Structure 1
Amino acid sequence: MKNLRKLVTLAVSLTMCLSFSSAALAITANSEQKAVDLQLTTVCENSKTKFVYNYAEKLGSFDGRGITFGCIGFTTGTYDGNILIHYYTKLNPNNNLAKYIPALDRIDKEEHDEDGKNDDIKGLDNFIKDVKACNDSLFKKAQLYELDEMYWKPAVSLATSIGAKHQLTLAFIYDMCVNHGEDGAKEYINSAKKKLGGLPKDGIDENKFLSSVMDYRYAFLKDDDPEGSDRVNAYRKLLKAGNVDLKPDFNFTVYGDTFNIDGDVY
Structure 2
Amino acid sequence: MKRALLTALSVALVAVTGCSSAASGKEDAPGLASPAKKELAQRIVASAENGTLDWRSAYGYIEDIDDGQGYTAGIIGFCTGTHDLLALVEKYTEKRPGNGLARYLPALREVDGTDSHEGLDPGFTAAWKAEAKRPEFRAAQDAERDTEYFGPAVRRAERDGLSALGQFVYYDAIVYHGPGDGPTSFGGIRAAAVKRADTPAEGGDEEEYLAAFLDVRREAMGELHPGHDTSRVDTAQRRFLEEGNLDLDTPLEWEVYGVTYKVA
User: How many pairs align?
Assistant: 245
Moved more, 139-148 or 96-105: 96-105
Flag structure 2 segments of 5+ consecutive residues without an equivalent: 22-29
User: Secondary structure of the residue that 1:131 maps to in structure 2?
Assistant: helix
Query: In the TM superposition, what are the counterparts of 1:14-93 in structure 2 within 5 Å?
Result: 15-18=11-14, 23=19, 27-51=31-55, 52-60=58-66, 63-93=67-97
5+ unaligned residues in a row in structure 1: which ranges? Answer: 109-116
Q: Which of structures 1 and 2 has the larger relative contact order (alpha carbons within 8 angstroms, sep 6+)? A: 1
| Matched residue type, 2:139 | K
* Deviation (angstroms), 1:224: 2.8
Q: Which amino acid aligns with 1:191?
A: A
Offset from partner CA, 1:224-253 (integer Å, 9 cap, x none): 333332211121011111222122332221
Secondary structure class of the residue paired with 2:4? coil
User: Which of the residues 144, 153, 156 maps onto 2:154?
Assistant: 156
Q: Which residue pairs with 2:174 in the alignment?
A: 177
- Using structure 2 for the length normalisation, give the TM-score: 0.85
CA contact (8 A) 1:162 1:201 kept: yes
Change (3 A) 1:90 1:255: same
Task: String of CA shifts for 1:100-147, please: whole Å, max 9, x gaps.
Answer: 111112233xxxxxxxx4112111011112222331111100000000
TM-score (norm 1): 0.85
**What's the offset of the Cα at 1:260?**
2.1
**Once superposed, what is the RMSD of the aligned Cα atoms?**
2.2
- Partner residue of 2:254 out of 243, 252, 255: 252
Instruction: Name the residue aligned to 2:210.
Output: 210
Tell me the percent identity.
32
- Partner AA of 1:133 in structure 2: A
Counterpart-to-counterpart distance in 2, 1:30 and 1:20: 9
Aligned to 2:191: 190
Quickly say closer, same or farther: Cα 1:130–1:150, change in 2 above 3 A.
same
